[in-house]
Amino acid sequence: MNKLTIIIPSRKQEKQISFIQRATESARKQTIADQFAITFLIGVDKGCGLEPAISDLLGVQCIESDGTSQAKALNAAIRQVHEGFVAFLEDDDQWMPDYLNFAMQAIALCDFVSSTQAEFDETGEFIRVNDFPTPSGWFMPASTLKIVGEFNESYRFHLDNEWLGRLSEAKLKRIHMIESTAPVKKRYVQEVRPWLMNVLSFSNLARHVSPYPLVRRLVHSNSGMAQIAANSEYSDISEEECESLVNRFGVMPW
């Protein structure tokens, strides 16, 4: 049986428990879930661990970091991974039932898999398809994670871009899973899906059979991108990080 560690970063807030429950249930309900021994690692800030009774109820292990950033929470959980496959899932996101099925098919051909997402607002209304390879769609063998390493804790908002930059720098093969209705030829991608074109610069695109993305992503007022849009200080930090990434990698990694 395949071993799968799912790392879920989480912050204390009103809906934390319900978010974690929904995210973990989406993984347990995968069509091929019975092919995996799944471990859920919930990465949290220092001093913000879940009550043991809650962890037991949810069937998860809570890993406290030594600080108060998402990168630190993720890294604390990453240090517990030594074998098998690794996936990331934000606590407010979910996988569609066939996510693991297609991710396993794709990973047989590459070193790292990502996915488009269907974004919904807090009322459940569909917003758009997001083509950026957000961590909630990342799937890889533990060996890939070992090569690329932990998240850079000096980044507040664009730690995923920085990690993807090192992934490409390591020349590891990537596949980005897209809907069956999405374009795959460069000329058409360039015309209608500019963000997907950015991804195509770093990854191969692979259609799955669903007309919808395999990851459901919640967009809300507390998200990092919403904070950047609403706060000029955060916007400045974001711009500085983007400039640093371009200086480091020559381009903004996707």
**Domain of 100: which CATH number?**
3.90.550.10
Q: 75 in a domain, yes or no?
A: yes
Average pLDDT over residues 51-62: 97
| Residue 54 within any structural domain of the chain | yes
Is 227 or 128 the better-scoring residue by pLDDT?
A: 128
Q: How many C-beta atoms surround the C-beta of residue 155 within 10 A?
A: 21
Would 254 be classed as within a structural domain? no
Residue 46 confidence (pLDDT) above 80:
yes
Q: What is the mean pLDDT of residues 105-130?
A: 97
The answer to whether position 185 is within a domain reads yes
243 to each of 161, 164, 170, 236, 240, how far by Cα in Å?
Answer: 12, 16, 21, 11, 5
Residues 6+ apart with CB under 8 A from 163: 148, 151, 152
> What is the pLDDT, as a whole number, of residue 2?
95
Nearest alpha carbon to residue 62 among 80, 84, 85, 38: 80
Q: Which domain holds residue 217?
A: 2-249
Provide the pLDDT for residue 222. Answer: 67
* Residue 183 domain-assigned (yes or no): yes
Is 17 domain-assigned? yes
Domains identified in the chain, total number? 1
pLDDT digits (tens, 9 = 90+) for 78-111: 999 999 999 999 999 999 999 999 999 999 999 9
- pTM for the full model? 0.95
Domain contains 140? yes
pLDDT in tens, 13-30: 999 999 999 999 999 999
Give the pLDDT confidence score for residue 234 in this predicted structure: 85
Identify whether 222 is part of a domain: yes
Print the SS3 string covering 200-238. HCCCEEEECCCCCCCEEEECCCCCHHHHHHHCHHHHHHH
Neighbours of 46 (CB within 10 A): 14
